[in-house]
Structure 1
Amino acid sequence: MNHHPASPGQPRPNTPVWDDEPWTALPSLEGDVSADVCVVGLGGSGLAGVTELLDHGLSVVGVDAGMVAGGAAGRNGGFLLAGTYDFYHDAVRKLGREWASSVYRLTLEQVARMAAETPDAVRITGSLRIVDTPEEEDDCRSQMQGLQADGFAVECYDGPEGRGLLFPADAAFQPLRRCRTLARRAAVRGARLYEHSPAIEIGQGQVVTPVGRVRCGAVIVAADGRLEGLFPELRGRVRTARLQMLATAPTDEVRLPRPVYARWGYEYWQQLTDGRIALGGFRDLGGEGEWTEEWEPSETVQARLEGFLRERIGVRAPVTHRWAASVGYTPSGLPVLEEVRPGVWAAGGYSGTGNVIGALCGRAMAQVALTGSSPLADILREPAAVGMRAAALSG
């Protein structure tokens, strides 16, 4: 593809706006090491799992093919939203009120937990869902009624961004800062973390990298996008898409105190504390080419994003960053969270909800490694899948 020329102030091509702080690279894994658990993937979900394992006194080795949060965990829109891929009323309709309310409550608790864990990276701001059509306005009404019926906070909103709903418990965050903070803390607590150490063989009791090997009692694989590349047996159940974003120089042309998403969630933007606008979206209008494991920005989607920035948001500030990330989607919108091989647990396919659902999945996998079961995992998995698994175990 043709790369966009770097704008003044852009550090390097395909670099997220979040990468604005120094980071001392971790070593690559060389030779053999051993641990109670090996965590493959050092993004938000993997580091949540590492933290949970350390909290229970287990020894941990973590490896990543790139850098800490070098994938979607450090390249996303910086939203912490309660709920699942489906809007709340749709989740109730599809999977039942008990399940939907349990998961929504878990995600609210997880957002609050993340704010307490890394207060320098998380701001409880609330979020907005803004509507453009009468159909979406009707859908917002159904969403609000469903949430209020089950005791969850939501308000009608009419302001400069447009009309829609306000979710007061949601948050904005600096995703790369949060992950790097968790990684530094984990290393201080004894976790051995390695960058640029791709897992080329994953099996019961071991993970092999190009020049190293981890021998362990259990393996946790936390990868959202490209999970089907690590586990070919998951092809057809999870599919990788490219999500694209851009960011501007600091501007005072608008004032956006909280993250916004519109057009059924396909477009999303926020204003950072220094005034920059970070904007993503238009995956669905990028065509079949956006279903790819490539993660370089494309001209087609970037042009739509810039047009939206100028015409809809009303910002003329120069674009300084353009980037993309690989994200996994599942047909149900619910994550893959299961034992994919003996002694190997995997999570991914968060369908755009990895910041919160992914962290819950990381904790759930750690619980499984500790005890063989996880109340979190049982809630997060689709009810029908839990029933089938229980039947198989009893049989």
Structure 2
Amino acid sequence: MTEHPAAPSHPRPNTPVWDDEPWAALPTLQGDVSADVCVVGLGGSGLAAAAELLDHGLSVVGVDAGMVAGGAAGRNGGLLLAGTYDFYHDAVRKLGHAWASSVYRLTVEQVARMAAETPEAVRVTGSLRIADTPEEEADCRSQMQALQADGFAVEWYDGPEGRGLLFPDDAALQPLRRCRTLARRAVHRGARLYEHSPAIEIGHGEVVTPAGRVRCGAVIVAVDGRLDGLIPELRGRVRTARLQMLATAPTDEVRLPRPVYARWGYEYWQQLADGRIALGGFRDFGGEGEWTEEWEPSETMQARLEGFLRERIGVRAPVTHRWAASVGYTPSGLPVLEEVRPGVWAAGGYSGTGNVIGALCGRAMAQIAVTGSSALADILREPARVASV
């Protein structure tokens, strides 16, 4: 019988398994500072924006209400998947072939870019979409045919996890490590980043925090969950959901070489390099209770996750971590990416695709701040333009 290392009798309260390294906290903003651009939100998209701005020689101040990647950017499932909220064949049907193929290609390139930028946080393992029913298996085959017709890498898979699709270019991510790495690099390059400095006023040319003020030429708001609370103009267009996860002690009961998502993507899990299993899902079973800005784990959803861990994945290792995060969803599944006030650009509502789409949106907003335009933004926002005509 597999031996498991000693685990705490009670999992660490609302702490992601990714929080496994020491972090030297950044200062709180005190007093007035100035910069070319102020970035609000120091998660994956905000830090991608900061890096792009620094690449173009602009000065950057970044603020966050909590810690770097303290929200969903450092608390998600750690999957880097090409594509959008919709599976590829659905995106083609709903939004057009030209747009779907352009965005899919961007996301494939972005996954490769992230692997090259932070190899210490990314493992290019591929990923699996596993079908739970004959209907979903047929849908997988439709997805595969559409992708292969456009030259994208995908294979049929039949293995221990089940039947479905293998995407060889996808990757596994340690999301908190990546964000902290990007933050340290940005500070080393001259960016001034501040934690525990919530933006309480955002206007043209300035961002106000409880103890300071940033005067700037442009503002980039890169927040996913609770975006509509920060930018009231977006109320009704973005809705915040709670996503819940758990993780186990290291185990050799199973061997999962790549991340897996199943049941139309609602459940997702991966095995970390040290053998831990990280598992999330069942948001749709929570009903209205999971459409909340509350981000403490709930007993009901955690029990469902643990049942899946034991029965479906076949792991008996003790649970060491339980946590949740706030994520923004839009009715269309497409992200918000727009100028919400003069000189204030906002992105969010990634509908569960923030690791990749969020990074693209962050880069796009930075390009707009530098040049007034962005080819990335033009592609990402094209369906919204078409729908408004």
TM-score band, normalised by shorter chain: over 0.9
Residue 352 of structure 1 pairs with residue 345 of structure 2: no
Post-superposition CA distance 1:46-71 (Å, at most 9, x none): 00000000000000000000000000
TM-superposed deviation, 1:10 = 6.7
In the alignment, what sits opposite 1:25?
25
Unaligned runs of 5+ in 2: 1-6
Q: Check the 8 A contact 2:69/2:176 in 1, yes or no.
A: yes
In the alignment, what sits opposite 1:102?
102
In the alignment, what sits opposite 1:302?
302
Q: Check the 8 A contact 1:153/1:168 in 2, yes or no.
A: yes
CA distance in 2, matches of 1:384, 1:244: 30
Post-superposition CA distance 1:275-328 (Å, at most 9, x none): 000000000001111000010001111010000000000000000000000000
CA distance in 2, matches of 1:174, 1:324: 16
Cα RMSD between the aligned structures?
A: 1.1
In the alignment, what sits opposite 1:3?
none
TM-superposed deviation, 1:381 = 1.4
TM-superposed deviation, 1:233 = 1.4
Matched residue type, 1:289 = G
Matched residue type, 1:164 = G
Q: Check the 8 A contact 2:11/2:322 in 1, yes or no.
A: no
In the alignment, what sits opposite 1:115?
115
Identity of aligned residues (%): 90
- Per the alignment, in what secondary structure is the counterpart of residue 304 of structure 1? helix
CA distance in 2, matches of 1:111, 1:164: 21
Post-superposition CA distance 1:232-275 (Å, at most 9, x none): 11111000000000000000000000000000000000000000
Matched residue type, 1:148 = Q
After TM superposition, the structure 1 stretch with the greater mean CA deviation from structure 2, 309-318 or 227-236, is 227-236
In the alignment, what sits opposite 1:234?
234
Q: Check the 8 A contact 1:334/1:382 in 2, yes or no.
A: no
Shift in alpha-carbon separation, 1:190–1:303, aligned structure 2, 3 A: same
Matched residue type, 2:250 = P
Q: How many residues align?
A: 383
CA distance in 2, matches of 1:272, 1:100: 31
Residue 133 of structure 1 pairs with residue 133 of structure 2: yes
Post-superposition CA distance 1:211-231 (Å, at most 9, x none): 100000000000000000001
In the alignment, what sits opposite 1:66?
66
TM-superposed deviation, 1:383 = 2.3
In the alignment, what sits opposite 2:3?
none
CA distance in 1, matches of 2:137, 2:153: 18
After TM superposition, the structure 1 = structure 2 runs for residues 34-183 of structure 1, keeping only pairs within 5 Å, are 34-183=34-183
- Per the alignment, in what secondary structure is the counterpart of residue 286 of structure 1? helix
Q: Check the 8 A contact 1:53/1:59 in 2, yes or no.
A: yes
TM-superposed deviation, 1:139 = 0.4
Post-superposition CA distance 1:98-148 (Å, at most 9, x none): 100000000000000000000010000000000110110110010000000
TM-superposed deviation, 1:9 = 7.8
Shift in alpha-carbon separation, 1:297–1:153, aligned structure 2, 3 A: same
TM-superposed deviation, 1:373 = 1.0
Q: Check the 8 A contact 1:45/1:361 in 2, yes or no.
A: yes
Matched residue type, 1:238 = V
TM-superposed deviation, 1:384 = 4.0
Post-superposition CA distance 1:130-184 (Å, at most 9, x none): 0110110110010000000100010000000000000000000100000000000
Shift in alpha-carbon separation, 1:298–1:165, aligned structure 2, 3 A: same
CA distance in 1, matches of 2:234, 2:371: 25
TM-score (norm 2): 0.97
CA distance in 1, matches of 2:120, 2:169: 17
TM-superposed deviation, 1:12 = 3.3
TM-score (norm 1): 0.96
In the alignment, what sits opposite 1:4?
none
In the alignment, what sits opposite 2:281?
281
Shift in alpha-carbon separation, 1:244–1:44, aligned structure 2, 3 A: same
- Per the alignment, in what secondary structure is the counterpart of residue 323 of structure 2? strand
Q: Check the 8 A contact 1:378/1:386 in 2, yes or no.
A: no
After TM superposition, the structure 1 = structure 2 runs for residues 171-210 of structure 1, keeping only pairs within 5 Å, are 171-210=171-210
In the alignment, what sits opposite 1:319?
319
Post-superposition CA distance 1:326-365 (Å, at most 9, x none): 0000011000000001100000000000000000000000
